A and B are shown apart, each in its own frame.
Chain A
Amino acid sequence: MKKICLTATAFLLALFAHGQSPFRGLTPAQQQIAWSQAAIQTNPDKAQPYNDLALGYIRRARETGDNSYLNQAEAALKDSAKRVPGNLEGEKAHAMILLGHDQFVEALQFSRKLNQKTPDDILTYGFIADAATALGDYAEAEQATQWMLDLREGNIPGLLRAARLRVIYGDTDGALDFYSQAYQQIPPTQTEDQAWTLTQMAEIQLSTGHLDEADSLLRSALQKFPGYYLTLEAAARVETARHHYSQALDLLRQRDDGSVSLSSLYFLALTLDRAGDSTAASAYKGFELKALNATNEAVNANRQLVLYYLGRGNKPAEALRIAEQEVSRRHDVFTLDAHAWALCANSRYGDAKKQIDPVLALGIRDAAIFYHAGAIAERLDDHADAVRYLNQSLELNPESEVAVEAHDALAKAIAASAMASNKR
């Protein structure tokens, strides 16, 4: 972890719940939508109820994964702007919509302008951090996040973004600490926020091979917000790591009862494949077709498509083409990693190393990235680095999706290393 720091003792995850609400049965986003609509009836000339309505729809998009709610949010913002053109809360909601549509460059530019107008607005820094993180501009994301924490110590949006950066910088314990601090402060009425935070914590536990801990967090998350698609997807990953493919498939199908995403289609195909299911090929095909159609869209699955072409799809040249296209738009750690892996598959080992080195330099601890780094090093006959990275991959998460490949590669790297020593 770099500068983002906050002196705090770790909280225990005490589960606190009392569901007092006049809108019992509605999700937090639905409640907000209902409140806002009532407020619009009362104050039809004010802009703020429309902004609140837009926020309700934005939250609903996050609750369901259904981005069509963002269109309704846009419509509400138009009504807001008619009443008070250029009002700050409306513009902030617009930034959130840009982020929701994965229009990160536009979101970053828009948020920077907003930030110049209102430099003490905490969430605007958050939008800058979000967009910069998605684009791989971690220094800017870090600076913006530090501003958030400096402006108001311990604020939840700041803690959540700082936690995400700590993951990127490889400080998973620190990330869990921040998530935990944030979770402690989320009121029990904000069930989706609670579930989202628990799911992020579970993802960290999963990435470090702590499957039981991840499972426990995800169960809590589903209690908070039943049927939450992000949680179901993460739970499916836990079951996959346990080689419980049929349970994983059940969870993924539940997840896809709501809004289906391109990445969830890929994950479903991958899981069917691992389960030895005969429908895996057609699932891959369905994913490929849809993902190809979206390659030029802001919301795409280019990274998954690259990984597919480098695996079952067996089109390394196509993988590289798409990776290059994506890396021209963003250079976050996962895009750089996918690009490096595609370069490696196309025998451009030196270029692959150039792509993956800055990723590793950030300190990120990810089993797949370590595996890729090890494999690239091995191709470059750097056996020592290969052994080191492959060991890191397996030590970090012995149950990762690349664990089998990492074991094989490690054995080969060790043998090659021994042979090289003998030659000397």
Chain B
Amino acid sequence: MTKKIAILLFALVLAPGALPAQNETTDALIKSLAIKVKMYPGDYKAYAGLGAAYLQKGRETGDSADYELAKAALSRSLDLMSNDPAAAFAMTQMAAACMAEHQFDQAYIWAQKALAVGSGDPSPWAIAGDALADMGDYQNAADAYSMLKTVYGSEDEQQAILYQRDSRMSYLRLVAGDAQGAIQLMQGAVQTATAMHMPAENIAWSDYQLGEEYFQTGDIAHAEQAYLAALRLYPGYYRALAGLAKVRSSAGNYRAAAALYDKAIAAVPYPEYAAALGDVYRAIGDSNKAQKEFDLVEFIGHLSGINKQIHNRELALFYADHGIKLDQAVVLARRELEVRHDVYTWDVLAWALFTNGESKEAAAAMSNALSHGTKDAQLFFHAGMIYADLDDSLQARAFLQQALAINPHFHPIYAETARQTLANLSTKTGSSPIQEAANAR
């Protein structure tokens, strides 16, 4: 099951030295900066630029090796220049690289260091907030995002900072269960990005994020529009392809969904995309292809030490979703919880515990996942299943109804599981589950 509203390392593209999105452009930039640092080994700016370019490359390809290259270049830049406001850029990039590698505490420290050199650019607050949000400290994340304002620079630069704030605040609203507020903020962010003529990838990301928020609230039509808008602006954008695949899958158009997931994986082989594609094949009944994708999930997840670190949660969810390596699912989820305490990590731990028959402990973890009021079909589905196993049919029904009310097509397989479980529970009490789901909407 793919479920993640990504907080992106998005400050970077708005920071000094913004990078064009296309792979070829990034490759060319890396090449030219690599030559430059060879010619001028004392040029801290060139090293910082090279680090930023590798980071961009990592975002484009999902290859964690690029993050390590980014860190090496940034580290060299900071060896040359660290006690100066000019070092803030490299420090912010370092924070972003740490975020990409899920080293949230390190990301926070680097963001604070970037702020401490006093460059006058509030962008590091964005990464500080992102790190805090991933560590589950939503209140302080909101405080950090609220610092994203400036009176310096051009009007466009000031708008760019507000864009960073609003797009991130939108995510926090979503976590807090205020979907309408989240969507409003994201709509504003899209408008700002468009009005400012930001690079295509940035606008596309905003559209994609808006699509995710619509999808999460079950507004599939608007989600589709947003994903398509992203693809129009930035053809082949893997996030939007995967988003659109979800839309097609939710409409039962599995062939189209599979084709879109294939394209997304060809661009960036994220394990969650492979897992989702496997689920689509499973829904079609093509178990061979499904298994191939599931094998790919593990292969990607274990490709490198860093990948293991980055994809702990996705792998845990994958194992739990597919009933394999269940004990490992709990181990991975707990490992992720050591560095990340956001609602989705608690949710995955709860789900992994449930699949291991530890429903009581799962319920405790689930209460943490739901403690911020997040209205997410996946969370409610997991909660419903956990409480059903605990024979608390009242709670179970309430959660499952909520899951289906939010988005009746939240997953190609588990949406149906939710309906069936609800039906079984309702049979016991004599009411119609479909009617209840409709009422709940």
Contacts and interface: CB of A to CB of B under 8 A. Distances in A.
A155 interface: yes
A51 B82 contact: yes
Given A156-B120, A185-B120, A186-B118, A92 B108 contact: no
A284 B144 CA distance: 50
A123 B119 CA distance: 11
A88 interface: yes
Interface of B: 78-86, 105, 108-109, 112, 115-122, 128, 132, 137, 140, 143-144, 147, 150-153
A189 interface: yes
A324 interface: no
A157 B79 contact: no
A280 B1 CA distance: 79
Given A48-B79, A153-B120, A153-B153, 19 more contacts: A6-B152, A20-B132, A20-B137, A28-B116, A51-B83, A87-B80, A88-B81, A89-B80, A89-B81, A122-B84, A123-B83, A123-B84, A151-B86, A153-B152, A156-B118, A157-B85, A159-B120, A185-B115, A187-B115
15 contacts: A6-B152, A28-B116, A46-B79, A89-B79, A89-B80, A121-B84, A123-B85, A153-B152, A154-B120, A155-B85, A156-B117, A156-B118, A157-B118, A186-B116, A187-B128
Given A89-B81, A189-B116, A152 B86 contact: yes
A181 to B, nearest CB: 8
Contacts of A123: 83-85
A170 to B, nearest CB: 24
A181 B140 CA distance: 22
A182 B144 CA distance: 17
Contacts of A189: 112, 116
B109 A18 contact: no
Contact of B86 (A11, A122, A153, A185): A122
B83 A89 contact: yes
A9 interface: yes
A23 to B, nearest CB: 9
B119 A20 contact: no
A52 interface: yes
Contact of B82 (A48, A185, A186, A187): A48
A120 interface: yes
A20 B140 contact: yes
Interface in A174-226: 181-182, 185-187, 189-190, 193
Contacts of B78: 48
Contacts of A156: 85, 117-120
B150 A154 contact: yes
Interface in A1-52: 6-9, 11, 16, 18, 20, 22, 28, 46-48, 51-52
A55 B153 contact: no
A93 interface: yes
Contacts of A28: 116
A18 B118 contact: no
Contact of B79 (A9, A22, A47, A155): A47
Given A18-B143, A185-B122, A8 B80 contact: no
A186 B85 CA distance: 12
Nearest to A17: B143
Contacts of A51: 82-83
Given A9-B151, A187-B112, A187-B115, A122 B85 contact: yes
Contact of A52 (B82, B108, B150, B153): B82
A61 to B, nearest CB: 15
B16 to A, nearest CB: 10
B87 to A, nearest CB: 9
A88 B80 contact: yes
Residue of B82, B84, B112, B122 contacting most chain A CB atoms (<10 Å): B84
A254 to B, nearest CB: 28
A154 B82 contact: no
A333 B243 CA distance: 67
A16 B143 contact: yes
Contacts of B122: 185
A8 B151 contact: yes
Pick the 5 closest A-B CB pairs, nearest first. Answer: A156-B118, A154-B120, A154-B152, A187-B115, A18-B140
Interface string A219-259: 00000000000000000000000000000000000000000
A189 B116 CA distance: 8
Nearest to B85: A155
A151 B16 CA distance: 13
Contacts of B105: 22
A122 B119 CA distance: 10
Interface in A97-143: 120-123
Nearest to A18: B140
B161 to A, nearest CB: 12
Given A22-B105, A89-B81, A16 B120 contact: no
A216 B300 CA distance: 57
B86 A120 contact: yes
Contacts of A154: 120-121, 150-153
Given A154-B120, A190-B116, A22 B109 contact: yes
Contacts of B82: 48, 51-52, 89
A205 B424 CA distance: 73
Contacts of A190: 115-116
Given A89-B81, A122-B86, A20 B120 contact: no
Contacts of A22: 105, 109
A51 B81 CA distance: 11
Contacts of A16: 143, 147
A133 B92 CA distance: 32
B206 to A, nearest CB: 26
A93 B109 contact: no
Nearest to A46: B79
A155 B151 contact: no
Contacts of B117: 156
B143 to A, nearest CB: 6
B119 A152 contact: yes
B194 to A, nearest CB: 26
A155 B84 CA distance: 10
B83 A182 contact: no
B143 A155 contact: no
A156 B116 CA distance: 9
Contacts of B84: 92, 121-123
A196 to B, nearest CB: 12
Nearest to A121: B84
Interface string A138-166: 00000000000001111111110000000
Contacts of A186: 115-116, 118
Nearest to B45: A120
Contacts of A92: 83-84
A152 B85 contact: yes
B79 A20 contact: no
Contacts of B152: 6, 8, 153-154
A20 B147 CA distance: 16
B89 to A, nearest CB: 10
Residue of A7, A87, A153 contacting most chain B CB atoms (<10 Å): A153
A152 B120 contact: yes
A158 B85 CA distance: 10
